[in-house]
A and B are shown apart, each in its own frame.
Chain A
Amino acid sequence: MAESIPHGVDAAHDDHGDHHQQSFWQKYIFSTDHKMIAMQYMFTGMAMGLVGAFMAYTFRMQLAFPGDLVPGFGLVTPANYNALVTNHGTIMIFWVAMPVLLAAFANFLIPLMIGCDDMVFPKINRLSYQIFLLSTIVLIASFFVEGGGFGGGWTAYPPLSGKPIYNLTPLGCTLWVIAVGLEFIAFLLGGINFITTTMNARAPGMKLYDIPIVIWMIVIASILFMLSVGPLIAGAIMLVFDQTLGTAFFDPDKGGDPVLWQHLFWFFGHPEVYVVLMPAIGITAEIITVFARKKLFAYKTVLHTAFGTGVLSFTVWAHHQFISGIDPRMANVFTVTTLLISIPIAEMMFVYIATLYGGAITLTTPMLWALAFIAEFLIGGVTGIFLGASGADIYFHDTYFVLAHFHYTFYPIAIIGTFAGFTFWFPKMFGKMMNETLGKIHFWGTIIPFNLIFIPLFVLGAAGQHRRIYDYTGFPELAKYQDVRVFATMALLVMLAFQLVFFYNCLISWRSGKKAGNNPWNSNTLEWTTSSPPGHGNWKELPTVYRGPYEYSTPGREEDFWPQNVPN
């Protein structure tokens, strides 16, 4: 095995063809193969997704039927409620969106799409997953210690998160911060690999503008992550010191400043939105071009726009803090930058819409997911304007309007984007086609209830309903909207029930689906030129690249696609 040799394009590849026997441990647990690590990230992420979904189920049931025992959980106390919403947010962003969208897809796709046999640092890659797994265990453990899980919000604002006498979860809050810190370290190690591999190990002939958009997006996301996470790791260490050693970085009683944490958190927290958004946007680009049989509209513009968005995303963080007691004059600056960032994002959406023009569109399951991503993310985008405009944010800040807005961004990213990518690359991952009928049932059963959950929450937000409150029936102005809450909860139950269709589809397709050939979608990119699933080392002979990834329906050719590795 060649696991310890970093593979550049010039490295010797003699030993890649032979698939010698590996033990179970070598193959599944301590593997350095990028595809196996991708699967580990994928399934850990999906398992955590189920945990996060269970939390959502529990607190939505509490909101709809306050005080009743929730089947499968029991009575939801105010402390339970806070811990549930806090960890739902933490898990869905750090333990679902990040591992699945960034780590799993990056690990699976980068070597396959740029035409090399593995990541350039396979052992660092393995270490990255192991640290991630450790962070998962620490987070899960934090729910079961005395005092229960941390309940100070996923943003963990001190002094609440800094002192056990305020948050009442002495162990939970510390384990939570440690878990998040470990998770960041895991993704830093992953990010090093993603960037280095893409820059150094591309197949011969693949120029920078020949790299598929999804790989570019993952690279941009990794750069954003690595540049933004430093301050927050420092902040997390300071917070653990505040909690355990009695330092006072964020403790106003001893001269610290709680607002400092908010700056550190959101300096990371806002780019983080783009860290998970970029891979999802990239996945959408791949799918739309394949199923519209179209060249991507203005490839270079998309790329430049994505870089521009990345740079701008570092300048908008304080729009989360308009009313947090920062100098009010600062809000004006951040309002301007925030509204500016709407422009590149809008432009990307325009590009995708323009790509559809003149296409020959087939509505397969992955295409439905990709189109749904655009349609739903637009709602998330436009509602962000209300919150970015400082004057309107005074009213909307910390209401359900915010909650509905970011679910309309994160849900398309983390859930719709994942399903799009998963159903699209399923044939490559497992060598079988997914069942289309079940796929479409699952699609409609997810997308319709999703809108029915969150559109009512916009209305509740406009009516002044604040977040993170376990029971609204005690507020005279808000009690009358109880029917709306029940409706949203019912929609959630329907949506969760339809996820069974997805798991069933995965199982039966994996066991007895139709065999997928090398290239079932007639796609151009390199991953479709090897066997499904690819063996150890990916190719017997590494491919050479002759053109960009989106040459669909090129005039003068018999076939409507033109793979990157075909000379003519």
Chain B
Amino acid sequence: MNKKFAATLATVAWSVLTLAVAGVALADADSNSEANARGEVLFELCRQCHGQEGEGKQPFLAPAIAGLDQWYIESQLSKFKAGTRGLHPQDLGGLRMYPMSQWLANEADISAVAGFVAGLTTAPPVPTIEGGDAHKGEAAYALCAACHGKAGEGNKVMNSPPLRGMSDWYLMTTLQKFKDGVRGSNAENPTEMMMRGMAMSLTDEQAMKDVIAHIMTLK
């Protein structure tokens, strides 16, 4: 083997090594946002169904999650993981979340990914359900407002998630699940049992559509 060739080979090997070391060093330097970086890495799996920016994908039964409150995402992930939410033969979307939440190994990972999702922003979801009367729905919403807030901003003390910014199809299926007992019939999840009682007050499909139409107007 000639010398010049060996020298070239050595140079290439050295530069690759230097670059690798520099890369590791750079990654370490940014330790302040470590949790956020970990969250972003973990969010890779969520993207599969919830979309690149957490905007949600109806065909995959995945609601918009970008910008939800961190406490709410954390609590729901923990419930999925414990099997108190989602573990019902007819909760197709929930069953998909059950193994995904198992993948998050510990509390730190759950809060890292929740923190990252809470920090995402995305355009408000486009309405997909027609025939709802926002005006009629406003009256029915008074009941919801007690926990979820007048502007649908949610209330941590009441364990109530924000409603504004949620996809209308997701609100619809969720209400239906509560009414059918697919959600809200597990004694280990009292929040959902309470919600089930509330959902029963929306007696027919039109009433559900109306209140959802109102929620879609909340800013």
Contacts and interface: CB of A to CB of B under 8 A. Distances in A.
A78 B45 contact: yes
A165 interface: yes
B48 A79 contact: yes
A548 to B, nearest CB: 41
A146 B41 contact: no
A74 interface: yes
A164 interface: yes
A77 B103 contact: yes
B87 interface: no
A362 interface: no
A474 B102 contact: yes
Nearest to A67: B105
A244 interface: no
A168 B60 CA distance: 7
B41 A75 contact: yes
A80 B22 CA distance: 27
B114 interface: no
A330 interface: no
A251 to B, nearest CB: 15
Contacts, number: 36
A512 interface: yes
Nearest to A513: B1
Given A511-B5, A512-B2, A168 B103 contact: no
A74 to B, nearest CB: 7
Interface string B78-118: 00000000000000000000011011010000000000000
A508 B49 CA distance: 49
B11 interface: no
A79 B46 CA distance: 10
Contacts of B41: 69, 74-75
A147 B105 CA distance: 23
A67 B112 CA distance: 15
Given A67-B105, A168-B49, A511-B1, A75 B44 contact: yes
A148 interface: yes
Contacts of A474: 102
A508 B1 contact: yes
Interface in B1-60: 1-2, 5, 41-42, 44-45, 48-49, 52, 59-60
Contact of A148 (B42, B48, B59): B48
Interface residues of B, number: 18
Interface in A57-82: 67, 69, 74-75, 77-80
Interface in A122-180: 146-148, 164-165, 168-169
B48 to A, nearest CB: 5
How many chain A residues sit at the interface, stated as a range, is 10 to 19
Interface in A395-442: none
B28 to A, nearest CB: 13
A146 B103 contact: no
A168 B2 contact: no
Contacts of B100: 78
Interface string A481-517: 0000000000000000000000000001001100000
A272 B48 CA distance: 33
Contacts of B1: 508, 511-512
Contacts of A169: 48
Contacts of A168: 48-49, 60
B27 to A, nearest CB: 10
Contacts of B2: 511-512
A432 to B, nearest CB: 13
A38 to B, nearest CB: 26
Nearest to A169: B48
A77 B44 contact: yes
- With a 10 A CB-CB cut-off, give which of A77, A79, A147, A164 has the most chain B CB atoms: A77
Nearest to A151: B48
A231 B59 CA distance: 31
Given A165-B59, A508-B1, A512-B2, A75 B42 contact: yes
Contact of B45 (A77, A147, A164, A508): A77
A146 B45 contact: no
A75 B41 CA distance: 7
Contacts of A146: 52
Contacts of A148: 48
B198 to A, nearest CB: 30
A169 B47 CA distance: 11
Contacts of A508: 1
A37 to B, nearest CB: 29
Contacts of A69: 41
A27 B4 CA distance: 28
Interface string A331-371: 00000000000000000000000000000000000000000
A512 B4 CA distance: 13
A168 B5 CA distance: 48
Nearest to B41: A75
Interface in A73-129: 74-75, 77-80
A540 B42 CA distance: 64
Given A67-B105, A511-B1, A79 B45 contact: yes
A78 B103 contact: yes
A349 to B, nearest CB: 40
A79 B43 CA distance: 12
A146 B49 CA distance: 11
A165 B60 contact: yes
A515 B99 CA distance: 61
Contacts of A165: 59-61
Interface string B137-154: 000000000000000000
Interface in B159-193: none
Nearest to B38: A75
A368 to B, nearest CB: 23
Contacts of B99: 78
Nearest to A80: B44
20 contacts: A67-B105, A69-B41, A75-B41, A75-B42, A77-B44, A77-B103, A78-B45, A78-B99, A146-B52, A165-B59, A165-B60, A165-B61, A168-B48, A168-B49, A168-B60, A169-B48, A474-B102, A508-B1, A511-B1, A511-B5
**What 3 pairs across the A-B complex have the smallest Cβ distances?**
A77-B45, A508-B1, A75-B41
Given A77-B48, A78-B103, 9 more contacts: A74-B41, A75-B44, A77-B44, A78-B100, A79-B44, A169-B48, A511-B2, A511-B5, A512-B2
Interface of B: 1-2, 5, 41-42, 44-45, 48-49, 52, 59-61, 99-100, 102-103, 105
